[in-house]
Amino acid sequence: QQQVRQSPQSLTVWEGGTTVLTCSYEDSTFNYFPWYQQFPGEGPALLISILSVSDKKEDGRFTTFFNKREKKLSLHIIDSQPGDSATYFCAASAGGSNAKLTFGKGTKLSVKS
Amino acid sequence: DPKIIQKPKYLVAVTGSEKILICEQYLGHNAMYWYRQSAKKPLEFMFSYSYQKLMDNQTASSRFQPQSSKKNHLDLQITALKPDDSATYFCASSQDGTANERLFFGHGTKLSVL
């Protein structure tokens, strides 16, 4: 059973456009939701994260939204750039003393110029 | 310079053999992890260590054994290799292994089992 579902599997947007990636989860104990960005041949790197007590967090061109009632979150990238082309993973953890992350399958983003 | 060093970058093994994946981190972190990324599955948590003690083990098979000889080392020994073990194995670290910490990942070791 997949605990974190991510969509779409792949996405192509034009340079300057807005990218929207979505995730849903099932475990109500999840309270921390990071987004990781992975370039080919590299490990994932933290992009932005949000706690369940918040509904929005912004960092430059990247914004993540969280809807606790619907158990959904999203990542918005405005003014998408070719350098944003990467695979994006949403993840979740339940907090406490355990830092274990449960990841979605990822969205492969291609930004065309 | 990479702060988390994984060796080797690529590894080819024969079914039934044993391999050790090496991980060293130079971030001064106290917690280290192993994750596995295979073609059709999400990135999967395997082990977490904090202050050289095993904190969590989500690997069903005893063929996977983490080994921590120093605080900044967490190697992964895999015995009796199977083709299904083919994946990229990522080592990661965080400050203390507590909740909501940022994980830093290495570049991974891509293992192919023939």
> What mean pLDDT is predicted for residues B14-40?
95
pLDDT for the residue B98: 84
Q: Could you read off the pLDDT of A11-52 as tens digits, one per residue?
A: 999 999 999 999 999 999 999 999 999 999 999 999 999 999
Q: Say whether B83 sits in a helix, a strand or coil.
A: helix
pLDDT for the residue A2: 65
Alpha-carbon distance of B83 to B104, in angstroms, equals 28
Contact A79, A61 (CB under 8 A): yes
B108 at A interface, C-beta within 8 A:
yes
Flag whether pLDDT at A9 surpasses 90. yes
DSSP assignments along B23-81, one per residue: EEE-S--SEEEEEEE-TTS--EEEEEEETTEEEEE----TTEEEE-SSTTB-EEEE-S-
Judging contacts by C-beta atoms under 8 Å, the chain B residues touching residue A100 are 45, 48, 56, 58
Nearest-Cα residue of chain A relative to residue B40? A105
pLDDT for the residue A99: 74
Q: Which B positions 8-67 lie with beta carbon below 8 A of chain A?
A: 31, 33, 41-45, 48, 55-56, 58
